[in-house]
């Protein structure tokens, strides 16, 4: 593969090449990983506004992304949508329906939509998604939406790679009833109560007021301006409230950028990423380290047979890998 | 610490020494880990019936364990109860209320109750809990109950260290309404619908019938006898249905033992444990490996400053730790 040519095409905004580049970084073959590292190093650094988005199934996430994304691309933005779905990660398949559910957005030349990578571990998905964000940014997208579903761990992961976090909720019902974990409420910068249309409009407005109060109590950070986090009503179906949501998000983003909060957050996220990369790299190397390959079948058999405790076997394996020096107290 | 004396006292069934031994294995200080390994090696191997137990908050888990445990100790069994609470793990505290909520059981000489260890990671809790099970078994407990709460990951973890898995549910409502993940239904051997008393009795009986049907559809394993998994009604409050639940569990246990299923499952669990131990050991060693300690501050600073990609920094760290040989394709 011609990596410099790929980097050049991605940086030029070639969507087909961007898709191929993401496929490359999603591969776990060692040769592809090497090529992926070269590609990432060759690409320009153009940080976009990175927005994490979560919401439980049925809340209208796809419709929201379609409407919100269309508004942005029609205003001249270039929008990338990446999906992180831990359940699809588990079953090994990606979200196939995504593009068809975002029919107009996916066809717009200013938008790029990529379903969730099929990886066996959430950690693997995290690594690929971080790298995919960088690719989309290098390709000139100035807004990157990272979508996930409400199961706790994946939200934390997405919040660790984005600048702003949006939680989409349905009108009425408490957050518990909507299956939203308290921890997710705590990381949300903006709650959007969707379906503020037709019969549900009044309920949605009331729900917004409820959450606005709750959010300020929950939030402990004092790194945000007065009045944040916020809650607003939207109707993805009628495309109502989307401009207000964008104005609010942009204001918070600008404030954080001007106050240096954004730079500090991104630096901290990069260090977290480093730690995750070390863990992921260890896993990958463990699986093919010749020192372990020789040892593991025997250790496994003895542990399974009950003649060797698991912890003692693990010590043996680690000593073989790292040397005994590394665990002197 | 006199490890042989501690091992002898634990094997004799000394409850105070068992508690001290568990405190020892919960410590992550390298000297304590060494002592813990010696202790585990010195102890006799007396596998008990290991029962995993889960249920969402409010379903009456503590009351159930109190009633079920009392029935067993009064019949001459020695029962140990270990709690795994990932949320307490996160906040760093253990479940303080446990013993008081199981007032009679905790005072019975045939019972031993231990709240969740305070560990920062679920992986750490898993390691300690597996070792605590072994300690309780060595101390002569023939039934070990490992209790957890309904958040998915912790159930899988507990199922990976027990012989049988019991899910406690409330009458009425679907499993989704009760916040039970489909994956947990799939690992349950026995569903007990609690609160089958007073006004709720009829609802509980109906719920049992609903689940009994659903369970057989869900279950893919053909390693169980005809008619399993089962659903039964119980009332922890009135101590009704507990003997039936025990009879059912014992029958399944005996069948699995006689058919060799138990031995195979335990062998597979031991191998899983080995893999987890290697991961946990790597984490611990990484934190204090001198080769990394010299390198990390500089790598962290460069990654945070944006002058070095996280993945390249991770490769540098891993090469320092494992040598470049380990990642040739």
Residue contact A312–B270, C-beta within 8 A: no
A246 min Cα distance to partner chain B (Å) = 28
pTM score: 0.65
Residue contact A278–B267, C-beta within 8 A: no
| Test the B interface: residue of A43, A303, A310 with most B CBs within 10 Å | A310
Over residues B28-68, the pLDDT tens digits come to: 788 998 899 899 889 988 889 999 999 877 788 889 999 99
Q: What are phi and psi of B11, to 5 degrees?
A: -65, -25
Taking Cα atoms as reference points, which of A53, A243, A64 lies closest to residue A164? Answer: A53
Q: What are phi and psi of B82, to 5 degrees?
A: -115, 140
Nearest by CB to residue B285, choosing from A31, A274, A318, is: A318
- Calculate Rg over the CA atoms of chain B: 22
Q: How far is it, in rounded angstroms, from Cα B272 to Cα B168?
A: 26
Q: Is A75 on the interface with B (CB under 8 A)?
A: no
H or E segment to which residue A50 belongs:
strand A49-55
Residue contact A278–B41, C-beta within 8 A: no
Helices (H), chain A: 3-11, 15-26, 30-42, 61-74, 86-91, 98-101, 103-107, 122-138, 153-159, 182-187, 201-218, 242-258, 261-288, 290-304, 310-322
Chain B residue numbers with beta carbons less than 8 Å from the beta carbon of A156 are: none
Q: Which of A181-195, A224-238, B10-24, B256-270 has the lowest mean pLDDT?
A: A181-195
Q: How far is it, in rounded angstroms, from Cα A101 to Cα A207?
A: 27
- Residue B134 reports pLDDT greater than 50: yes
How far is Cα of residue A235 from the mean position of the Cα atoms in its chain? Answer: 24
Q: How far is it, in rounded angstroms, from Cα A212 to Cα A139?
A: 36
At A90 the pLDDT is 38
Nearest by CB to residue A271, choosing from B270, B284, B304, is: B304
| Test the B interface: residue of A34, A56, A314, A320 with most B CBs within 10 Å | A314
Chain B residue nearest residue A326, CA to CA: B289
Beta carbons within 8 Å of A99's beta carbon, 6+ residues apart = A106, A113, A115
| Chain A from 174 to 233: CB within 8 A of any B CB | 179
Q: How far is it, in rounded angstroms, from Cα B178 to Cα B11?
A: 41
Q: How far is it, in rounded angstroms, from Cα B145 to Cα A154?
A: 30
Nearest by CB to residue A37, choosing from B278, B290, B311, is: B311
Q: Which of A78-82, A223-227, B218-222, B320-324 has the lowest mean pLDDT?
A: B218-222
pLDDT band at residue A173, thresholds of 50, 70 and 90? low
A198 min Cα distance to partner chain B (Å) = 27
Tell me which CATH code domain B45-258 carries: 3.40.50.300
Residue contact A281–B318, C-beta within 8 A: yes
- Residue A154 reports pLDDT greater than 90: no
Measured over the CA atoms of residue B5, residue B8, residue B11 and residue B15, the dihedral's sign is negative
Residue contact B327–A40, C-beta within 8 A: no
pLDDT band at residue B113, thresholds of 50, 70 and 90? very high
Over residues B154-183, the pLDDT tens digits come to: 788 899 999 999 999 888 865 554 556 666
Chain A residue numbers with beta carbons less than 8 Å from the beta carbon of B280 are: 314
Chain A residue numbers with beta carbons less than 8 Å from the beta carbon of B321 are: 322
Angle, helix A3-11 to helix A30-42, in steps of 10 degrees? 50
Taking Cα atoms as reference points, which of B323, B27, B211, B72 lies closest to residue A322? Answer: B323
Q: Is A285 on the interface with B (CB under 8 A)?
A: yes
- Residue A179 reports pLDDT greater than 70: no
Mean of pLDDT values over B77-98? 62
Report whether CATH 1.10.3470 matches the domain A1-43.
no
- Residue B290 reports pLDDT greater than 60: yes
- Residue B211 reports pLDDT greater than 50: yes
Q: Which residue has the higher pLDDT, B278 or B247?
A: B247
Residues above pLDDT 70, as percent of chain B:
84
| Test the A interface: residue of B278, B286, B321 with most A CBs within 10 Å | B278
Q: Which of A27-31, A249-253, B219-223 has the lowest mean pLDDT?
A: B219-223
A:B CB pairs within 8 Å: 139
A215 min Cα distance to partner chain B (Å) = 20
Q: Are B264 and B293 in contact (CB under 8 A)?
A: no
At B121 the pLDDT is 60
Q: How far is it, in rounded angstroms, from Cα A291 to Cα A279?
A: 19
Chain B residue numbers with beta carbons less than 8 Å from the beta carbon of A290 are: 325-326
pLDDT band at residue A118, thresholds of 50, 70 and 90? low
At A223 the pLDDT is 67
At B95 the pLDDT is 43
At A174 the pLDDT is 58
Chain B residue numbers with beta carbons less than 8 Å from the beta carbon of A280 are: 314
Q: Which of B17-26, B100-109, B316-325 has the lowest mean pLDDT?
A: B316-325
Q: How far is it, in rounded angstroms, from Cα B243 to Cα B236?
A: 11
Residue located via tokens 């364990």: B65
β-pairing, A190-193 vs A111-114, is unpaired
At A301 the pLDDT is 92
- Residue A167 reports pLDDT greater than 70: yes
pLDDT band at residue A148, thresholds of 50, 70 and 90? confident
At A226 the pLDDT is 80
Beta carbons within 10 angstroms of residue A213's beta carbon: 11
pLDDT band at residue A210, thresholds of 50, 70 and 90? confident
Domain boundaries, chain A: 1-43, 45-258, 271-322
Q: Is A303 on the interface with B (CB under 8 A)?
A: yes
Residues above pLDDT 90, as percent of chain B:
45
- Residue B111 reports pLDDT greater than 50: yes
pLDDT band at residue B96, thresholds of 50, 70 and 90? very low
Mean of pLDDT values over B61-87? 90
Over residues A64-110, the pLDDT tens digits come to: 999 999 999 999 999 999 988 665 433 333 344 455 678 889 899 99
Q: Is B277 on the interface with A (CB under 8 A)?
A: yes
Q: Are B161 and B145 in contact (CB under 8 A)?
A: no
- Residue A24 reports pLDDT greater than 80: yes
Domain A1-43 shares a fold with domain A45-258? no
Q: Is B132 on the interface with A (CB under 8 A)?
A: no
- Residue A329 reports pLDDT greater than 80: no
B204 min Cα distance to partner chain A (Å) = 22
At A326 the pLDDT is 47
Mean of pLDDT values over A282-289? 78
Q: Is A263 on the interface with B (CB under 8 A)?
A: no
Instruction: Indicate the average pLDDT of chain A.
Output: 84
């Amino acid at each position: 593969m011609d990596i410099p040519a790929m980097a050049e095409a991605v940086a030029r905004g070639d969507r087909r090449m961007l898709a191929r580049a993401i496929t490359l970084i999603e591969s776990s073959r060692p040769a592809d990983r090497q090529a992926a590292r070269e590609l990432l190093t060759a690409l320009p650094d153009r940080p976009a506004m990175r927005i994490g988005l979560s919401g439980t199934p049925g809340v209208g996430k796809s419709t929201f992304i379609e409407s919100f994304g269309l508004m942005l691309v029609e205003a001249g933005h270039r929008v990338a949508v990446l999906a992180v779905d831990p359940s699809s990660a588990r079953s090994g398949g990606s979200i196939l329906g995504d593009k068809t559910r975002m029919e107009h957005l996916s066809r717009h030349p200013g938008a790029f939509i990529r379903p969730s990578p099929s990886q066996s571990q959430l950690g693997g998905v995290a690594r690929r998604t971080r790298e995919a964000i960088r690719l989309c940014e290098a390709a000139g997208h100035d807004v990157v939406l990272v979508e996930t579903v409400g199961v706790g761990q994946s939200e934390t992961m997405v919040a660790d790679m984005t600048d702003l976090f949006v939680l989409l909720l349905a009108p009425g019902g408490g957050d518990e009833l909507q299956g939203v974990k308290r921890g997710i409420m705590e990381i949300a910068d903006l709650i959007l109560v969707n379906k503020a249309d037709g019969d549900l409009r009044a309920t949605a407005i009331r729900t917004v007021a409820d959450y606005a109060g709750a959010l300020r109590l929950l939030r402990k950070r004092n790194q945000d301006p007065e009045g944040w986090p916020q809650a607003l009503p939207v109707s993805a179906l009628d495309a109502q409230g989307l401009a207000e949501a964008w104005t609010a998000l942009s204001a918070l983003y600008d404030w954080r950028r001007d106050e240096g909060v954004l730079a500090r957050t991104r630096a901290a996220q990069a260090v977290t990423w480093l730690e995750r990369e070390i863990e992921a790299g260890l896993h990958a190397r463990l699986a093919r380290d010749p020192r372990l390959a020789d040892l593991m079948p025997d250790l496994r058999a003895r542990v399974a047979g009950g003649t060797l405790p698991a912890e003692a076997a693990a010590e043996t394996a680690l000593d073989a890998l790292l040397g005994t020096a590394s665990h002197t107290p």
